[in-house]
Amino acid sequence: MSEKPTYEELEQRIKELKQEADSHKLVEEALRESETRYRMLAQYSQTGIYIHIGGLVKFVNNSFAEILGYT
């Protein structure tokens, strides 16, 4: 049988898990900010942008839609 962890070991593990959670939160926030910047860049670019995947157009920005005659 394995020994039960000591109180100090449990406290240390809790601190480590909190640090990991904080790190994940920072990474998630940075990703959200990056996605927002990308979305704004793609949507409001004066250059026509589209994403074509597997034979389907998945995204078209306003400029590209206007080039094709759509609003």
Could you read off the pLDDT of 10-57 as tens digits, one per residue? 999 999 999 999 999 999 999 999 999 999 999 999 999 999 999 999
The pLDDT, as a whole number, for residue 2 is 72
What is the pTM (predicted TM-score) of this model? 0.61
The pLDDT, as a whole number, for residue 33 is 97
Hey, is 70 helix, strand or coil?
Answer: coil
Residue 1 pLDDT exceeds 60: no
Strands (E), 1-71: 50-53, 56-60
Phi/psi region, residue 18 (left: phi>0; alpha: psi -120 to 50; beta: rest), is alpha
- Fill in the DSSP letter of residue 51: E
Comparison of pLDDT for 70 and 15, the residue scoring more? 15
Give the C-alpha separation, 11 to 18, whole Å: 11
The pLDDT, as a whole number, for residue 37 is 96
